Amino acid sequence: MSDPLIIGLTTGGSFLLAFLLFTKHMNVKANRWLGVFVFTLASAMLEIFLHNLNLQKSHRGTLSLIEASRFLSAPTLYLSVSFFTSANKKAESKVLWHFALFLAVTSLLLPGILIGENFRFPNPLTASIVLTFFKVALPAQTVIYWGLSYLKLNRHQQNIEQVTSSTDDIDLSWLKYFLWILAAVVLIWLNLAIFNFTSLFDVTPFLYLTSIYFLAYFALKQKEIYPYTKPDLQELDMVISSKPNTKTERQKRLTDSQAAALKEKMERLMGQEKIYLNNELSLPILAQKMEISIHELSYLINDVYGENFFSFVNSYRIEEAKRLLLSEEFEKLNILGIAFEAGFNSKTTFNTAFKKSTGQSPSEFAQIGRK
């Protein structure tokens, strides 16, 4: 860890990223919590920077605050993930309990910061127990919140398929990758603190720098996850958080005659108006076209058609793509053009969905079908 230039770049870049996240106007609450998380990373880098320059003795108060801020990292990352993946956007209940360890550590370090005198324990045994607890608590906290964050991101990738027909820009896959990068950083940190494998020393600063710039690139370009009105968000939150209902409960919401009438209207919108060609089609947009509530449309698609919104809409797009691949349009358009014409907004999603449905790639389908 002897490269002050790389550590300095990482520290400065982290503080700048934290500021930019605080000023971002999309996913506001999620980005502000992510900004706090990045600020704690910047503080950890600052500690390394001060040690490299042998300035630790003249900045003891700063180092004590940095020590306490370690207990903010995992909870703030988790809260950021929570707000990114929530349609509701309301603050989690009892949010302060996430910071119990941070407040406890700060209270112990505060006397040393303010008056230069360490907190006094009643006896050496109590001091040993408390200090051992906090040493164990930090890695335990990191592992627990990492796991909770990963689970939320997995659920999010399932939830958005109930809401939108195009998930590429809002699936938060970059956050999952960052969690794995973070896991590698934590393992290296454990190496530095416990195992002391010197072979990792040279690559560690570059990993820190790379992880910060990776996070900066994807976090700053991330579009709004749920760009809908407040009433729509409230309904979407109910759709996402609702548990599967029994058949009796479903019939109370939508009778057989209502379901049949709505199915007929749906097939007209899809078959004649080809509304699925709108690559931004979402549950709220289609509900407005159907002149029903978001919740009723969700029930219609899930219960009458037996699909989620994503697969339901893309099944029509795949049929349109099949038609285009076997028509004269294929002579004018490449595969990407066919994907856009059919309503997909990326070649990757198109290829994946097409192969899942037909067992063939679009090129293979066209080649076999046009023989």
Average pLDDT over residues 64-81: 92
DSSP 172: -
- CA nearest 26: which of 151, 232, 170? 170
What confidence tier does 142 reach under pLDDT thresholds 50, 70, 90?
very high
* pLDDT > 90? residue 194: no
What confidence tier does 250 reach under pLDDT thresholds 50, 70, 90?
very low
* pLDDT > 90? residue 117: no
* pLDDT > 50? residue 121: yes
For the chain, the average pLDDT equals 85
Q: State pLDDT tens for residues 338-351.
A: 999 999 988 888 99
Stretch (H or E) spanning 155: helix 124-159
- CA nearest 164: which of 335, 343, 369, 370? 343
| Residue 219 tokens, joined | 């976090």
CA 86 to chain centre: 10
Taking residue 125's Cβ as centre, other Cβ atoms within 10 Å add up to 9
CA–CA separation, 370 and 156 (whole Å): 40
User: Which amino acid makes up residue 239?
Assistant: V
Q: State pLDDT tens for residues 172-185.
A: 999 999 999 988 87
Domains detected in the chain:
4-221 (1.20.1070), 230-369 (1.10.10.60)
